[in-house]
Amino acid sequence: MTRYVMVADLRRCVGCQTCTASCKQANATMPGVQWRRVVDIEVGEFPDVSRVFVPTGCQHCENPPCEEVCPTTATHKRDDGTVQIDYDLCIGCGYCAVSCPYEARYLVDKAEFAYGDEPMPNEAKRFDEGKVGVAQKCTFCIDVIEDGIAKGFKPGVHPEASPACVNACISGALTFGDIDDPESPASKILAINETFRMHEDLGTEPGFYYIWDKKPEDLLG
Amino acid sequence: MKKGKKRAKMGPWPRLQKFWDIRAAGNFIGGGTGSGLLMIAAIFILIGKISIAAIIVGAISVSLGLLMVFLEIGRPWRSINMFFHPQTSWMTREGIVVMPLFLTAGLAVFYAGQPINITIAIFMGFFALVFLYCQVRILHAAKGIPAWRHPCLRPYIFSTGITEALGVAVCIPGLMTEQGLWIALTIALTIRFLFWKNYLKNLERDGAPEASCAVFEEINPKVQLAHIIAIVLLVAAWLTQMPILAVPAGLIATATGWTIKAIIVTKAAQTRGFAIPRTPVRGQGKSRVLGRQR
């Protein structure tokens, strides 16, 4: 089996939003739509405060609540563990969006562009009418991954088969790969680090891991 | 949220969902009241007192609720696709059950007064019950909104559908003199109020977003007053045997239910926000364990 997951090392993320920008560039999302974003969390009280940058987006859950509620089956989980949307089936009811505990979904009612009603040439070239009036979210750049695999590249190892955010990350905070493959970059980094997932109490089994520390030496053997 | 109460020490905070607005609330308002009315109409048929008006008003109410959904969705002309996922989606199940519900409602009107109508009424009541249950589960399945997924909301949504329907029923000419409806409405109001208080208490206890709790706390005194006034009017109607006093009680009962539903779907629909259980180890080599976020 294959299950693609993302690993974000919170010790490394500097909140530069390069992943956000690269995602927007790669997927040509409209203004206000951020499939990959970095949440800026402040904790504690002055003077004892911490600031944590948390990359987030669709968590490609093992038990996706968005898939469960979708009345059309437009939202579906694939054999590779990713959760995808069939834009031709989606009716834009928004039920998936209110069911997602990670605020990962967007609904664009009408086409919007960076500079007013008229698209810039690059926007016009990549405008997809099929994404208007329907739900949309991070795909883990599944089109790139599939294309890369077809060309013999390995997801998470080669940029040709990895999500844009992972390729763009300046600090190496994002790692991608098949968690069922012990040799994948994601499996390797998870094996030596302490992690958590967000809102685990909801039972969604997210495919997005956050590293907060290295594992103790005695656990690593 | 009480003034001066400290906020949780982490952010970013939950925020109001903007995907479902008053049109989505309209589905729960029209569907809840309409299905409740069709259940009441079915019971009336079973005891030999058919009310064509209750069936028609109930069916129209459900239709208007569904029309609101049609207006809400981004691709309404694809709405046939909503029937594709009965395995897990309560929205699909709601859409499927509405067809036999309308069919039996139509048959109940067509065969009014005939013996077969008893059987039809049983089915109509059953489909109305399932429809209302689907509405209850639709909100509960929305895991992104703590105020919707809370288990204590389920009995409230069910009870308010019945209460709103009884409120409309006592306003329908031909039914307003039925003292059994007055008693039923009084009981329903009491039960709904208890479920409402239970929902508020447990929502606060279970750490729902403070903004959701604040909206409910703001409306709560008016909700209490509305229930008291409605029950007093019903008791007065019974004591004086004046049905006209039951009408405002019914209107208050229905309007209160509709208002609360609108608030639940719109103003109180805060997301859970983002939360991390602990901070990463950096610099000083320490990780801060974090409490629950609200």
Parent domain of A173 = 4-220
Mean pLDDT of chain A: 94
**pLDDT given at position A219:** 67
pLDDT of residue B9: 36
Contact A98, B113 (CB under 8 A): no
Q: What CATH number has the domain spanning B20-141?
A: 1.20.1630.10
Q: Which two tokens stand for residue B175?
A: 């039914």
More confident residue, B290 or A105: A105
Tens place of pLDDT per residue across chain B (294 aa): 344 344 443 346 788 898 999 999 999 999 999 999 999 999 999 999 899 999 999 999 999 999 999 999 999 999 999 999 999 999 999 999 999 999 999 999 999 989 999 999 999 999 999 999 999 999 999 999 999 999 999 999 999 999 999 999 999 998 989 999 999 999 999 999 999 999 999 999 998 999 999 999 999 999 999 999 999 999 999 999 999 999 999 999 999 999 999 999 999 999 999 989 999 998 878 888 886 544
User: What are the contacts of A21-29 at 24+ separation with CB within 8 A?
Assistant: A21/A168, A22/A164, A22/A165, A22/A167, A22/A168, A23/A57, A23/A138, A23/A163, A23/A164, A23/A165, A25/A164, A26/A141, A26/A144, A26/A164, A27/A139, A27/A141, A27/A164, A28/A123, A28/A126, A28/A127, A28/A128, A29/A106, A29/A136
Residue of B nearest to A108 (CA): B74
pLDDT digits (tens, 9 = 90+) for A130-184: 999 999 999 999 999 999 999 999 999 999 999 999 999 999 999 999 999 999 9
pLDDT for the residue A122: 87
* Domain total of chain A: 1
Q: Does the distance separating the beta carbons of B89 and A69 come in below 8 Å? A: yes
Give pLDDT, residue B286.
84
Question: Per mean pLDDT, which range of A101-105, A195-199, B9-13, B205-209 is the poorest?
Answer: B9-13
Render pLDDT for B156-174 as a digit per residue (tens, 0 to 9). Answer: 999 999 999 999 999 999 8
Is B12 within 8 Å of chain A by CB?
yes
pLDDT digits (tens, 9 = 90+) for A21-76: 999 999 999 998 999 999 999 888 888 888 999 999 999 999 999 999 999 999 99
pLDDT above 70 coverage of chain A, percent: 98
DSSP string covering A98-164, please? Answer: HH-TT---EE-SS--BTTBSSPPHHHHHH--GGGTTSEE---TTHHHHHHHHHTT--TTTSGGGS-H
* Helix residue ranges per DSSP H, B111-145: 116-140
CATH number, domain of A142, equals 3.30.70.20
Contacts of A90 in chain B (CB under 8 A): 74-75, 78, 81
Q: Does B291 touch chain A (CB under 8 A)?
A: no
Q: List chain A residues with CB under 8 Å of B95.
A: 71
Nearest-angstrom CA–CA distance, A82 and A2? 10
Instruction: Test B91 with A202 for CB contact under 8 angstroms.
Output: no
Cβ contacts (< 8 Å) between A55 and chain B: which residues? Answer: none
In chain B, what are the domain boundaries? 20-141, 159-273
The CA distance from A100 to A204, in Å, is 10
Task: Give pLDDT, residue B11.
Answer: 40
Q: pLDDT tens, A61-89?
A: 999 999 999 999 999 999 999 999 999 99
Q: How close, in Å, is residue B101 to chain A by CA atoms?
A: 19
Structure tokens at B229: 């006034």
Looking at the complex, does the CB of residue B17 fall below 8 Å from at least one CB of chain A?
yes
Cβ B83 vs Cβ B76: under 8 Å: no
Closest approach of chain B CAs to the CA of A11, in angstroms? 5
pLDDT tens-place string over residues A174-192: 999 999 999 999 999 999 9
